[in-house]
Amino acid sequence: MMEGGGQLLRMAVTYSAVMGIPIRVRRIRGGRSPPGLKAQHLTAVKAVAEICRGEVEGLRIGSTEIEFKPGRARGGSYSFDIGTAGSISLLLQCVAPVAAFADSTVELRIRGGTAVKWAPPTMTMREVVWRALRAMGFRGEINILREGFYPKGGGVVDAFIEPILKLRAIQTDGPGRVELIRGISVCGKLPSHVAERQAKSAIETLRGSGLEAEIERRVLSGREQPLSPGSYITLWVERAERPCYLGADSLGERGKKAEIVGLEAAESLIEQLKTGMAIDLHTADNLILWCSLAEGESTFTTSRLTLHTATAMELAKIITGVKFKVEGQLNKPAKISCRGIGLKNPNL
């Protein structure tokens, strides 16, 4: 369906767990080659099943169909190892709503990739996406103990999520005047000047557009040293005239100059700020599930309506019955509204 990737599976399993609805998912990752479950998808479903005492059939690498029967979400301490450089961020995306609707605090320790292709860095989840969720009443914190890069992964992240009775709607339309961009430039098992050059390039690019930035440089060593060499930079709007949740990031690669890494992230953030919208393109697709569950009408603007976001809305309609109003076109700035179902935590 539409985007056809692992996002559909993660969202469906999350909805199943928080709403208590058994589901069957067919043609999993049918839009991908090869199709079927990979390690990160399998671990995400296992994690949700463990937290909500669910039963799963068909859960194996390469499987294209699963059946999931949820139980009640329970608090406690849980540990999950993706076993590859699969994205910790995407696992958190799946698990966080389930933990928020548990009966007590959920403590997570997750091993995998923190900054890998095709997923937001875990730092971006912490500084942008979870900040937006806290505006909806979510209570959670992320602590990155060790970064994990491709190919070995091995990143270690602790997350703490408190239960909530219900979510409130989010309403934000644009940042207005931006006072400060903040960021972090990270490298590990690489020369220390990589982090410096990434940061310097981003600062100079942002300054060229009249934006002030403060970027922390972090060179990973000792216990923080990653298993594989890698680097990235994450930027976000720290202070603005009105509430907004805008971020951008870029990942280092072999043969890619550090200056290009910083430039890419800065240019992405600048382009999104020029739209005058309040939510970046990746945070927008994260918010759809939460808005559909919240009480009241959520309204937000996004710098780009992606196929990921459109797919999330389509699945939300199918499972919750909510209706979305979208003003804007695919791959353009847009305004999204929906009245959530006002789900109350059945475990409190």
Active site residues per annotation: 308
CB 185 within 8 A of CB 262: yes
| Gap between the Cα atoms of 274 and 270, Å rounded | 6
Element (H, E) at 206: helix 193-208
Identify any residues that bridge with 216 across adjacent strands, giving them in sequence order: 184
Question: Which residues, in sequence order, are CB contacts of 223 under 8 Å at separation 6+?
Answer: 145, 146
CB atoms within 10 A of CB 218: 17
Rounded to the nearest 5°, which phi and psi values hold at 234?
Answer: -120, 135
Which pair of structure tokens corresponds to residue 14? 């999350």
In Å, how far are 29, 48, 165, 320 from 16, measured between CA atoms?
Answer: 18, 10, 18, 10
In Å, how far are 135, 233, 311 from 336, measured between CA atoms?
Answer: 17, 29, 13
CB atoms within 10 A of CB 235: 31
